[in-house]
Amino acid sequence: MPRARIIGTGSALPERILTNHDLERTLDTNDEWITTRTGIKQRRIAAEGQFTSTFAVEASRRALAMAGVDAAELDLIVLGTVTPDFPFPATACIVQHEIGAVRAAAFDLSAACSGFVYGLSIADKYIRMGMARKALVIGAEVLSRVVDWTDRNTCILFGDGAGAAIVAANTDDDNGILSTHIFSNGSFWNTLYQPGCGSRNPAGNDRTIEDRLFFIKMDGNDVFKHAVRGMDEAASAALAANGMSAADISLFIPHQANRRIIDATSKRLGLSEDKVFVNLHNYGNTSAASIPIALDEANRANRIKKGDLVLLDAFGGGFTYGSALMRW
Ligand code: COA
């Protein structure tokens, strides 16, 4: 059975930067509070006329270029997002059309911030089973359109952007994805969610509009606790399944939600700071896009070399969580 290996990465971000100091002008908050509680200094915000597909397409083109793969070679496109261009059709279909992936099956995947790791898990299985040879996995979000910019508890956290990876069957050596582990705990479905614009509270409903249900709602403290536990569980499952320890890891790329969550998870796993990739000070929490953007930055900065052991670790609404361990 061939291993699935990431052979190209790409990312795309809006140009507009919104700093903590910018937020001080419209909200009862300050740079010091946001920095110490979250580690975030700024985030990117999509301009009018830019959508989730805008960034997904750009990130995908960059990943294809790095991999040296023509879009027509793709068998599968999986796009993790909670902010699709439309409820339907899938944003993945728009990406398929824009990049010319004429042979690919394309669908969106709703696993919130774990969307990219979930997508990678699917691509890995298709490739290992021989049902696909080349897949495109994307995490893309425009969260700025679903956050309440008057709610200081949530709006300071999120940003927009996309990341993508080309996953292909590796016939050269044994490198590639060693394992993926995905988990859910649906008993917390309403701890971090967007109550409106689905079938329960349709977009045009009076209640949806009056109670502003079209915005993200979150119990931050509850999410925080479970995020640390869930990420520890997912990462530990990956290490245990492969008979490895934290000492074997070359680079840990956790979901970029909060610096304190990342630090607490790394500490539990026994990972030193130099092995942990962090870029959330620049982008905030971009949900499904956070891990592939970080992976692409680390890859392009030569933080990952052939043979390195890379561990991805995600947690998000649902709750969903998961890990992917790979030999680069
Ligand atoms: N600026 C200033 N003060 C703020 C603030 C802001 N942006 N947001 C909240 N506060 C206030 C609160 O109102 C509260 O005031 P009070 O004590 O007078 O009621 C105080 O700061 C402390 O709030 P608390 O919620 O206890 O802070 P915290 O240390 O738990 O940090 C989060 C809040 C949201 C940063 C933190 O809980 C968190 O990051 N949770 C995880 C969220 C997340 O990552 N979600 C996505 C996961 S995929």
Listing DSSP states for 74-136 in one string gives --EEEEE-SS-SSSSS-HHHHHHHHHT-TT-EEEEE--GGGHHHHHHHHHHHHHHTTS-SEEE
In angstroms, how far apart are the furthest CA atoms of the chain?
A: 59
Active site residue 201: no
As a whole number of Å, the CA-based R_g of the chain is 19
Q: Which residues contact 86 (CB under 8 A, 6 or more apart)?
A: none
What's residue 51's pLDDT?
Answer: 98
Judge whether residue 287 has pLDDT over 90: yes
- Among the listed residues 155, 181, 255, 258, the single catalytic one is 255
**Average pLDDT in the chain:** 97
Judge whether residue 283 has pLDDT over 90: yes
Measured between its terminal Cα atoms, the distance across the chain in Å is 18
- Among the listed residues 20, 113, 155, 258, the single catalytic one is 113
177-327: CATH architecture? 3-Layer(aba) Sandwich (3.40)
Question: Using a 6 Å CB cutoff, which residues line ligand 1?
Answer: 29, 33-34, 37-38, 113, 152-153, 156-157, 218, 220-221, 223-224, 227, 257-258, 285, 315-316
Judge whether residue 47 has pLDDT over 90: yes
Ligand 1 atom nearest residue 23's Cα: 7
What's residue 114's pLDDT?
Answer: 98
Residue 276's pLDDT band (boundaries 50, 70, 90)?
very high
Residue 224's pLDDT band (boundaries 50, 70, 90)?
very high
Ranges of CATH 3.40.47.10 domains, the chain:
3-172, 177-327
Judge whether residue 1 has pLDDT over 90: no
Taking the centre of ligand 1 as the mean of its atom positions, its distance from the CA of residue 83, in whole angstroms, is 23
Task: Tell whether domain 3-172 is in CATH 3.40.47.10.
Answer: yes
Ligand 1 atom nearest residue 112's Cα: 48
Active site residue 93: no
Ligand 1 atom nearest residue 155's Cα: 7
Q: Among 28-32, 203-207, 263-267, which stretch is predicted with the lowest mean pLDDT? A: 203-207
What's residue 237's pLDDT?
Answer: 98
| Residues 45-64, mean pLDDT to the nearest whole number | 98
What's residue 263's pLDDT?
Answer: 98
